[in-house]
Structure 1
Amino acid sequence: MFQGSRTLETLNRDPFEFDVRKIDAVVLTHAHIDHSGLLPRLTAEGYRGPIFATPQTRDLLYYMLPDAGRIQEGDAERRNRRQDRRDEEPIEPIYTEADSKAAYEQVETVALHDWFAPAAGFRARLWNAGHILGSTSVEIEVGGVHLLFSGDLGPDHKAFHADPEGPAGLDHVFCESTYGDRVREDVTIEQRRTLLEAEINAALTRGGNLVIPVFALERTQELLLDIATLINTGRLAHPQVFIDSPLATRATEVFAKHAGELEDMGSGEIFRHPSFHYTASTMESMRLNDMSGAIIMAASGMCEAGRIRHHLRYNLGRRESTILFVGFQAAGTLGRTILDGANRVRIWGQDVAVRAQIRRIDTYSAHADQKDLQRWIRARKPIDGSLFLGHGEEGSIETFRRLMQADDAAASIVTPKIGETYSLPSRASSKRLKTGKLELQEAVGRDWQNDYADFSTHLKKELQNIESASARREALARMAEILHSYQAYREHRKSRSS
């Protein structure tokens, strides 16, 4: 599922470029919605085959898929209620909660390292990817061709999970590149806790709330592990910690269920710490508006949906509050806009001033950094065919491509574009069979709606800086004139080209 700007998210509504009914199987690397989020649409359009995943992934999908369906329904309803859409056609949800529950019923579990046959002529097995609970890389053999798909890879020495693994000696490898352009400081779990301790103490000393946008899955549980440890060792007083995400609460229950399989868990009771308060209802969430000096963790991690937007609306304008980012913020998301230093943002059609302290800790990333990715790929050698690099922003992918080129990582290195098709021969480089669509590629990153939101949030202040009411009206008239003249220019060009 595409996540980011509105333009990018419209790709989730585009027709699938394949016949859904002809698919034999789906193999899912992990439960994160950017990987699993279109499964309900796939099944709603006629897919009836198995969805193979680990038992832990299936347990998480039991909550995550229906939650995604409710978000789709709620988002469509809210957008249809907006005043600026009154004269437009109603938006339909991409899929519903019922579609999500139907997709979940098609999930079949497979244990790590066990070979299985997802379809005739194929065999596959799953390897620990160290990214989140249940995450895997997928090895596939078919027609004498040996493939490996990294899925999302975790960093080495991550809390809860063993380091990523995988086979060596492959024809083609498909690897993520989220952090292919950066090397994070090598920080131990204890050093990470020290950084978090400093941020919490500084935020609460200001007297306001510490608001942390979190991913419901894994990031929330890592933070709870560290906060509980800091409290239990006397390094933090007993702050009130509110986990304001029903999905995060349910995901935490799954982590508790699998506590015996996880590292760094201690007694396994950390998620039931007396300082932790799990808010369930909307009314409980709204009561947090009157809080000061609390830690509020809410989803979504990139501030694109969910209760975090509610808390940002109430806390961004408070100078005593702190917003702490602990995860990747994609281009075009509200989280990225705030992190990049915006003075004002739009939330649910309203302008919100940014006066709160904006902070960031990079050490909680669930993704491997450049050195981790490089080590993982080196351990997969020899790669006799192509190394495909994707799942990253353009600059990150290109930086990592140059590094892999210098590393002689594979016979060829490919940075595929959306919509391209490749043949995958045995012991030889891939060949591109079909080019992608330019309009799809241009949807990645910021879009005109991001630019419009920036422009509109600053427009009123800019007009107020003009010396008189008559001059402000003249400025508005000139802006309208520019828009009209540009439209006429576009129509003229179109008529000449036709």
Structure 2
Amino acid sequence: MRITFYGAAGEVTGSCYLLENNFKYLVDCGIFQGRSEKENENPFLFDPTEIKAVILTHAHLDHSGRIPKLVKEGFKGRIYATYPTIELCEILWLDTVKLMKEETERINRKNLRSGKPLVEPLYTEKEVEMAMKLFEPVPYDEMVDLSDIKIRFRDSAHILGASSLELWSNDTKIVFSGDIGPQNNVMEGRPSIIEDADYVVIESTYGDRLHKTLEETRAEFEKVVLDAINSQGKILIPSFVVDRAQRVMYELMLLSYKYPFFSKIPIFFDSPMGKKVTAVYEKHSNLLSGEIQKYFLEGINPFELKNLRYLTTPDESKSINELDTGIIIAGSGMCTGGRILHHLKHNLWKENTHVIFVGYQAQGTLGRRIVDGEKVVHVMGEEITVRAKIHTINGFSAHADQKDLIKWTEYFKNDPIFLIVHGEPQASQALSQLLQLKGRKTIVPSYTQSLDLEKKEIIAPKVAPSFDIESLLDELSSYITQLKASPILQDLENYSLLKSALHLLKEVSDRSKNL
């Protein structure tokens, strides 16, 4: 068996792994976001008509978002996923179609005026409908025989329906972590324990950092929300509509129990699909954690507040522009689109606005630029000065941090090779080094690199990535200029990080000389 990494290698988005055995399979087929989003427009680097099946770990778009495009380009196989994942995919894909249609119409209006060629959306509702018919629901922990391989879905406790994947081919077993939730997880309980494998493809989103404890996170969120309320401005919470928004609503419900005045603060979940996603969570509440199920058993919906209002239409969204205060939860979580842009445009320049980021912000996204401290950003075609107070609360993340990732690996009783993906280079390298210190064997694969699992041979990439290399080099140069102009803390940690970056740049330079 051979595995080729066609996404989430050296970055967090675009998860897509091609398995070649007697037949060809894909594990995930996600959309690229941020700096690499232009990659979505390119043809797949494999023939979609040759893929027998897609095995989908969960519904998030960076894992599922290009499946309708795969169908558009000829895929007709089956798509295996848990039932909640299938329900969530339909909601997310149809919303994506709507957003892409709006964006395409906007671009084509400009192109018509300038004489440029018209563009098409990545896919339409037609491809979504075709893809939905290909789904094959699979329960957790049940073995599925696909003739030349066997697979089993295990609960990864990341979002509702999310899975790690066990896959067997002859005498070789490979495990895909998918996205792994924290060990102490409020929403979905703990990730399933897997004890043996020959290879483990493991995510590394937070491979280089630790989250605060649940108690510390809740105290931090409470302080930020109370301070923001006292400033009498709006609180904007860019949020992934699946899982993170439900978690935020739950935490706000807990605050309403603690502070009676809280029920007077208007809260808005501004998303056309927000109510639909929450309904899926309510429907499958038996898959959620004991902490959440306890409320359902007592007849309390943990995702409902008396002062919460769902906004679905554009007019409803615009109607809250004139409000002086309130809490607004809206997608997208990385501020790459959706209604959060509308609210940032109207409020980011106000000093009494508070923006609370509760999820990962990929490189190149508007959310990442705001978190990194840019003072002026472009939002919906306008230059906006950032005067709002910016807060980041990583403890709400549905991803395991470094400590929890290591804990998950410690359950493997044999000695697998860990293939570290779904992380920015610094995070993946940090996790790799830590695992090596613990006596584990690791590989950090690069984009389009292949690995022969039986021969244990790494095959160099045959196709050059189509990413914007010049922009990436410009970004690196910009960071170097910033470091030269600013005082750097003279400690071992900063020196080590810069030294690691130097080694990576030297390696790229050496490779380019040998081309």
Q: TM-score, normalized by length of structure 2?
A: 0.82
| Native 8 Å contact 1:343 1:353 kept in 2 | yes
CA apart distance, 1:127: 0.7
| 1:210 is aligned to 2:210 | no
Partner of 2:25: none
In the alignment, which of 385, 395, 399 is matched to residue 367 of structure 1? 399
How far, CA to CA, are the matches of 2:229 and 2:159 in structure 1? Answer: 30
Partner of 1:42: 70
In the alignment, which of 256, 265, 285 is matched to residue 231 of structure 1? 256
How far, CA to CA, are the matches of 1:313 and 1:49 in structure 2? Answer: 43
| Native 8 Å contact 2:31 2:64 kept in 1 | no
| 1:194 is aligned to 2:222 | no
CA apart distance, 1:141: 0.4
| Native 8 Å contact 1:418 1:440 kept in 2 | no
Measured at CA, do residues 113 and 260 of structure 1 come closer, stay the same or move farther in structure 2, by a change above 3 Å?
A: closer
| 1:424 is aligned to 2:488 | no
Partner of 1:104: 132
Measured at CA, do residues 348 and 86 of structure 1 come closer, stay the same or move farther in structure 2, by a change above 3 Å?
A: farther
Partner of 2:27: none
| Native 8 Å contact 1:332 1:446 kept in 2 | no
> Residues 243-280 of structure 1: CA distance to partner in whole angstroms, max 9, x if unpaired?
00122221111111112332222135132321110001
Partner of 1:383: 415
Matches within 5 A, 1:415-454: 415-425=444-454, 430-435=456-461, 437-440=463-466
Matches within 5 A, 1:114-153: 114-117=142-145, 119-153=146-180
| Native 8 Å contact 2:112 2:118 kept in 1 | no
In the alignment, which of 182, 190, 201 is matched to residue 163 of structure 1? 190
CA apart distance, 1:85: 7.8
In the alignment, which of 316, 327, 340 is matched to residue 308 of structure 1? 340
Report runs of 4+ in structure 1 exceeding 6 Å deviation: 447-452
RMSD: 2.2
| Native 8 Å contact 1:129 1:153 kept in 2 | yes
CA apart distance, 1:143: 2.1
Partner of 2:42: 14
Higher RCO structure, 1 or 2 (CA under 8 Å, sep 6+): 2
| Native 8 Å contact 2:48 2:73 kept in 1 | yes
Measured at CA, do residues 153 and 50 of structure 1 come closer, stay the same or move farther in structure 2, by a change above 3 Å?
A: same
How far, CA to CA, are the matches of 1:309 and 1:163 in structure 2? Answer: 34
How far, CA to CA, are the matches of 1:236 and 1:316 in structure 2? Answer: 26
| Native 8 Å contact 1:55 1:110 kept in 2 | yes
> Residues 297-339 of structure 1: CA distance to partner in whole angstroms, max 9, x if unpaired?
1100000000000000000111111111111111110000011
CA apart distance, 1:37: 0.2
How far, CA to CA, are the matches of 1:444 and 1:69 in structure 2? Answer: 30
Matches within 5 A, 1:333-372: 333-372=365-404
Secondary structure (helix, strand or coil) at the match of 2:130 reads helix
Measured at CA, do residues 338 and 436 of structure 1 come closer, stay the same or move farther in structure 2, by a change above 3 Å?
A: farther
1:431 maps to a residue whose letter is E
CA apart distance, 1:373: 0.6
| Native 8 Å contact 2:31 2:61 kept in 1 | no
In the alignment, which of 232, 235, 245 is matched to residue 220 of structure 1? 245
CA apart distance, 1:237: 1.8
1:299 maps to a residue whose letter is G
Measured at CA, do residues 389 and 192 of structure 1 come closer, stay the same or move farther in structure 2, by a change above 3 Å?
A: same
How far, CA to CA, are the matches of 1:65 and 1:360 in structure 2? Answer: 28
CA apart distance, 1:446: 5.4
Matches within 5 A, 1:312-327: 312-327=344-359
| 1:251 is aligned to 2:283 | no
How far, CA to CA, are the matches of 2:444 and 2:430 in structure 1? Answer: 11
> Residues 209-244 of structure 1: CA distance to partner in whole angstroms, max 9, x if unpaired?
000100000000001111112112336521110000
| Native 8 Å contact 1:176 1:390 kept in 2 | yes
CA apart distance, 1:195: 2.2
2:37 maps to a residue whose letter is E
| Native 8 Å contact 1:214 1:301 kept in 2 | yes
2:446 maps to a residue whose letter is K
Matches within 5 A, 1:375-414: 375-384=407-416, 386-410=417-441, 413-414=442-443
Measured at CA, do residues 273 and 398 of structure 1 come closer, stay the same or move farther in structure 2, by a change above 3 Å?
A: same
Measured at CA, do residues 221 and 104 of structure 1 come closer, stay the same or move farther in structure 2, by a change above 3 Å?
A: same
Secondary structure (helix, strand or coil) at the match of 1:289 reads coil
CA apart distance, 1:179: 0.4
Matches within 5 A, 1:275-294: 275-294=307-326
Secondary structure (helix, strand or coil) at the match of 2:144 reads coil
Q: TM-score, normalized by length of structure 1?
A: 0.84
How far, CA to CA, are the matches of 2:221 and 2:229 in structure 1? Answer: 12
Partner of 2:509: none
| Native 8 Å contact 1:79 1:85 kept in 2 | no
| Native 8 Å contact 2:361 2:368 kept in 1 | yes
| Stretch moving more, 242-251 or 268-277 | 268-277
Unaligned stretches of 5+ residues in structure 2: 1-29, 479-515
| Stretch moving more, 76-85 or 310-319 | 76-85
Matches within 5 A, 1:460-471: none
CA apart distance, 1:440: 3.9
Secondary structure (helix, strand or coil) at the match of 1:327 reads coil
How far, CA to CA, are the matches of 1:334 and 1:214 in structure 2? Answer: 13
How far, CA to CA, are the matches of 2:465 and 2:250 in structure 1? Answer: 43
How far, CA to CA, are the matches of 1:321 and 1:353 in structure 2? Answer: 12
| 1:88 is aligned to 2:119 | no
Secondary structure (helix, strand or coil) at the match of 1:324 reads strand
How far, CA to CA, are the matches of 1:244 and 1:252 in structure 2? Answer: 13
CA apart distance, 1:79: 2.5
Partner of 2:80: 52
CA apart distance, 1:21: 1.5
| 1:242 is aligned to 2:268 | yes
**Greater radius of gyration (CA):** 1
How far, CA to CA, are the matches of 1:341 and 1:217 in structure 2? Answer: 27
Aligned residues: 442
Partner of 1:78: 106
How far, CA to CA, are the matches of 1:55 and 1:315 in structure 2? Answer: 39
Secondary structure (helix, strand or coil) at the match of 2:120 reads coil
> Residues 129-184 of structure 1: CA distance to partner in whole angstroms, max 9, x if unpaired?
01000000000001221110000001111112121124222111100000001112
Measured at CA, do residues 36 and 443 of structure 1 come closer, stay the same or move farther in structure 2, by a change above 3 Å?
A: farther
